Amino acid sequence: MKKILIVEDEPDLLKVLSQHLENYHYQVLEAGDGEQGLKQVAEGKPDLIILDIKMPKIDGYTFVQELQSQKEYAKIPVIMLTANENLDSLFKVAGVSDYFTKPYQIEKIVAAIEKALST
């Protein structure tokens, strides 16, 4: 069973996304901010990370930079979530395999997860 870490500071969104991914038979790890997320990466060794951009403590961009700076975690695929639809060019960041704007369709996220995990 593949392990997915969701880093999202909105508890309701975190809960709903977790439940959806569990229904698709993924093991889900959760973090409410970027700092907790980095700890979960080290402890839980996820296969993929779904990451919000705007979060307290450590934002999504800083999180990805930190992840990329650590050789053992640099290859973990990251899918970013954002409320801003005008960020296309910013997602050319190394390590970000896809992104979705909120509200998103779970089926599209699952398809992106499957694609990222198959490469």
pLDDT tens across 44-68, in order? Answer: 999 999 999 888 889 888 999 999 9
3-state class (DSSP) for residue 15: helix
Per-residue confidence (pLDDT) for residue 99, from 0 to 100: 76
Per-residue confidence (pLDDT) for residue 29, from 0 to 100: 98
Cβ-count burial of 105 within 10 angstroms (0-12 exposed, 13-18 middle, 19+ buried)?
exposed
In which element (H, E) is residue 96 found?
A: strand 96-101
Sign of CA dihedral 13, 15, 21, 24: negative
Collect the ranges in the chain with pLDDT lower than 50: 89
Q: Please, what are the domains in the chain?
A: 3-118 (3.40.50.2300)
Per-residue confidence (pLDDT) for residue 102, from 0 to 100: 79
In which element (H, E) is residue 39 found?
A: helix 34-44
Per-residue confidence (pLDDT) for residue 92, from 0 to 100: 52
CA atoms of 7 and 50, how far apart (whole Å): 6
